[in-house]
Structure 1
Amino acid sequence: MSGVSVGPGGVADAGEILTVQRAAYVAEAQRYADPLLPPLTETLDEVRAVLAGPTIVLVARAGHRLVGSVRARVAGDTAHVGRLAIAPDQQGRGIGSRLLAAVESACTGRVARLELFTGAESADNLRFYARHGYRIVGHRPDPNGVRLAVLEKSLVSPARSGP
C-alpha cells in the first residue's frame, strides 16, 4: 500500500472514478445476476454532479492512477457512505480500509453516525464492514429487488456513567 495517497476528488476525476466504480461493481452484478446495479448505470454527468455538490468524495491514488473512491452524503446527524470502489487489481491491499477511515474522519464532528448498505449475500463486504465497526441494523430491497443489508456505525462515544 506504500505509494497510495488518499485525498479529495474533484470534477476532473469523474471519468476515472466512473471507470474504477464500474470495474469494481461487476462482481456484485454477477453475484446478484443484476447488470443494472446503480453503480453500473450511473452516468458521467451524474458523477460530475456529485463531485460538484456538497457530497464528500475521496479518492485513492497509486502514483497518478486513481485506484479507488468513496462518497459520503451528510443528512442531519447521519452520513450516508456509498460507492466504496477499488480497482479490481488493487483489491486486498488495504486501500478500501484507508478510504473508509478517511471518509469516517471527514465526517467526525459533523454527524453522530454513519450508514451504508451492501448486498445481503456479499459475505466479504459484510465481513469488511464488521471489521471496521459497522453492524447490521436491517434489510431492504433495492429498486431491482436485490436484498440489501443496512449497516451503521456510531461516531459518538457512549456517555460514561458513574463517578
Structure 2
Amino acid sequence: MSEGYFWGASLTADKNTITWDPEEPSKDGQPDFSRGHSLTIKQAMLGKEAKSGELNVVQAETVGYNGDVKIPLFSLEAGALRQCMLDLSFPDAPVVLKLAEGSGPVHLSGYHSIVGLSVAASVMDEQTDDELEDEGEEEMVDEDEEDEDDDSPRKGKAVPPKAKKPKPTPKKT
C-alpha cells in the first residue's frame, strides 16, 4: 500500500532553509518507522520577484551512503534560466534544502511518497514465503534416488527438466 502527496516549498532571502524530515512525529506524536518515506523534487522555478542577472543556487544537505553529502543541486538566473525540471529523490533520510546564493524566491515542487505494509499484506508475504520454501523442498531430488533414465518421473516428486546444451554451429571455411 502506498500514498502520495503533493509537496511544495519556497526559498527566499528571509527563509533560505527548509528541512524535510520523514521521521518527524505523526499525529499521535510518535515517528512511524513501519513506513518508508521518500521526497521527490520534480521542478524548480524562480518567482517573478527574482532580480535580473542574480544567480540563485540551491543546495542539499543529506545523508549519503558513505556519510553526509552537501552539494549544489541547480542554479537559476532571471533573464537566462527561470525554471528547470528535476528528478531528485531523497528516500528515508532528512534533507535540508538551502538557498546558498541569491535572494530568490525559488519555488520547489514534487511529491512525498509513503510506502507501508498493512498487517494483512505482511501476513500474506509470510504465507507466500512459507509456500515457496515448501515448493523448493518438493523440487529437490537426492542423487541416490536418481534412475538411469533421466526422463522418468522420480517417485511422485516434481523434477525440473534438464537444460539442453546448445549445439555448436559448424564453421564455414
What TM-score, normalized by structure 1, do the two folds share?
Answer: 0.26
More strand by share: 2
Q: Looking at CA atoms only, which structure, 1 or 2, has the larger radius of gyration?
A: 2
Per chain length, whose mean CA-contact separation is higher, i.e. which structure has more relative contact order (CA < 8 Å, sep 6+)? 2
TM-score, normalization by structure 2: 0.25
